[in-house]
Amino acid sequence: MRRQQSFIFRTSVRFIALIALVWVISSLLWGQTDASLDKGGTVFNVKAYGATGEGSTDDTASIQHAIDAALSAGGGIVYFPVGRYLLKGTLTNSRVDLISLVGSGMGTNVLVNANVGISLGSTAGLVAGYHNGRIQGMHISCSNQSKNTAVQMTDMVSGPQLIDLTVSKCDQAFDVINRTRWTERLFATNVTDDLNNHLFHLDGIPSNPTNSYGYGLYDGIYVNKVAGQDVFYLTGGGYLYNSKFVIKGNFDPNANGASIFNVQGKSGEPCPGAAYNTVDIAVEGGSYSVVRANNNGCKGGAAGNALFGGIGPIRAPGSLAGSNGSISDSSTVAFLSATFTAGSSTSDSVSVRTAGPGSQCYVQPTNAIAAAAINGTYVSSANWSTVNVAHPSKAAGGTFQIWCTAQ
């Protein structure tokens, strides 16, 4: 009987010792990396690094530790469980190609109480790896709508994917800056713009006339706007190129001065412009503009004039200008009035919509022939529903758009 009890005792002790050993080893491993593994790779849980997620404690340093650990490990997912994460400082991720910031949906709230909440740097000169990193599945809101930026991206040859996000009441939700290079293949899908002054601020260096934000896909931008706010704000010569937009949502009925595209140029700077864009817009509401622009004495260049070119189908309520739901501000904006193919002579008379003797009209090329002949091609005069376009003989066969302000 004693032998049996001794055997049972020794077996129980060994079992307990084994369990304790497993626990110690697991604890040591967890303590080394604060990481767990899933099918997607290494996941760095911000709460394992001390983030509280309770909304009143500054979680900036703890979340930065998780980002730094992911960077040291060669990449991974920095995971935000359900909670409210207060940022009184700025999170920095210098390798957007390797590290993703992923939440648990609308239950993950990031509260920005700093000038910049998340700062994303360049990929250290890498040219490969489009769309590797992402910011996904969270609600970002700002405490100071007059100056806070939720996410700032600098020199993004390829920016992170922006997926399943809501951003609320920031001055700039996404501030995208070209300093030494262009931004390409910015990808945003299912992004809700909730009362931000600017959803995307596309900002170039004033001295650089070719600040391109090209080949972007903005597929499912849902907007909620009031007066003076916009979705895309282009300054400093920044311009969109070969991009697709699907924008839907609501503008407040009194949203005077609000716009989808707000294109601004200052005196002496390259004129912000755009080319070859496909636009699909279905926006409810009253007094907003699809395109609002002001060249303010800006100079020409590769970016073109402060106008949009190559716009595809626009579905928006209202008339072309002058009433609620207008797609352009009649006093300051040129809107697409006609397209034409230049003839063999050196001038063409073109029928246009809503133009008059007081309209200012501009010409934009839409094929290679027209682009090669754009110097010397201009609207020489405007009359009711017609304009005369002067051009060099080599423009024959070139296709152009005519943009006119309302009479």
SS3 22: helix
Output the pLDDT for position 33: 42
Whether the per-residue pLDDT at 96 is higher than 70: the answer is yes
Amino acid at 210: T
Determine whether domain 37-329 maps to CATH 2.160.20.
yes
Output the pLDDT for position 5: 53
Distance, CA of 235 to chain centre: 14
Q: How confident is the model at residue 275 (pLDDT cuts 50, 70, 90)?
A: low
Structure tokens at 395: 């423009």
Q: Which residue has the tokens 């190559």?
A: 310
Structure tokens at 312: 């595809």
Q: Whole-angstrom Cα distance, residue 167 to residue 225? A: 12
Beta-carbon contacts of residue 117 (< 8 Å; ≥ 6 apart):
87, 90, 91, 110, 140, 142, 148, 149, 150, 151
Output the pLDDT for position 212: 79
Q: How confident is the model at residue 185 (pLDDT cuts 50, 70, 90)?
A: confident
Angle (nearest 5°) at CA 81 between 77 and 84: 120
Output the pLDDT for position 407: 59
Whether the per-residue pLDDT at 35 is higher than 50: the answer is no
Q: Whole-angstrom Cα distance, residue 339 to residue 92? A: 47
Output the pLDDT for position 157: 77
Tens digits of per-residue pLDDT, 202-221?
Answer: 987 776 666 778 888 898 89
Tens digits of per-residue pLDDT, 68-91?
Answer: 999 999 889 999 999 999 999 999
Whether the per-residue pLDDT at 378 is higher than 80: the answer is yes
Q: What's the mean pLDDT in 369-389?
A: 88
Q: What's the mean pLDDT in 286-303?
A: 65
Which has more confidence, 76 or 27? 76
Structure tokens at 182: 């262009």
Q: What's the mean pLDDT in 86-114?
A: 95
Q: What's the mean pLDDT in 368-378?
A: 85
Whether the per-residue pLDDT at 245 is higher than 70: the answer is yes
pLDDT averaged over every residue in the chain: 78
Percentage of the chain with pLDDT > 70?
A: 70
333, 336, 337, 341: CA torsion to nearest 10: 140
Q: Whole-angstrom Cα distance, residue 153 to residue 93? A: 10
Whether the per-residue pLDDT at 143 is higher than 90: the answer is yes
Whether the per-residue pLDDT at 114 is higher than 60: the answer is yes
Tens digits of per-residue pLDDT, 319-369?
Answer: 333 333 333 443 444 566 788 999 999 999 999 876 778 787 878 777 778
Which has more confidence, 256 or 363? 363
Q: Whole-angstrom Cα distance, residue 394 to residue 140? A: 53
Which has more confidence, 350 or 304? 350
Q: What's the mean pLDDT in 9-34?
A: 49
Which has more confidence, 375 or 123? 375
